[in-house]
Amino acid sequence: QAHLEESGGGSVQAGGSLKLSCAVGGFSDSDWNWYCLGWFRQAPGKEREGLAEIDSGGARFYARAVKDRFTVSVDKSKNIASLELKSLKPDDTAMYYCAAATETMCYSWYLENPKFSSWGQGTQVTVSS
């Protein structure tokens, strides 16, 4: 199983930006050839929400609510997945998590029905109005 560690969260004002990082540990060389990495968030009292995912083939899928504001990427040379957040709103306040699955490509429905075997501990994003 992969070990994932998120960072980059913080407190920003509405309209601001953040870049979240997810350090991916425990991936073998073959894992890096066939994976899906995803980003999710969960606000207090709300269900977990899928945001974005990227796979080893370069396919990206986004939730409709964030696709014009969030960008997912992977830097394999640094073993880091990133989620860039722009035009942040107070409703974006949540704990943000990255997740990993190997031996699979991403599918759009993974955002609503995750099939990820590894999850990070999360990084908090707080957006004030």
Enumerate long-range contacts of 82-86, CB under 8 Å, 24 or more apart.
Answer: 82/19, 82/20, 82/21, 82/22, 83/19, 83/20, 83/22, 83/39, 83/51, 83/52, 84/17, 84/18, 84/19, 84/20, 85/17, 85/18, 85/19, 85/20, 85/125, 86/17
Write down the pLDDT at residue 1. 82
Write down the pLDDT at residue 76. 93
For the chain, which ranges sit under pLDDT 50?
A: none
Write down the pLDDT at residue 75. 96
Write down the pLDDT at residue 33. 93
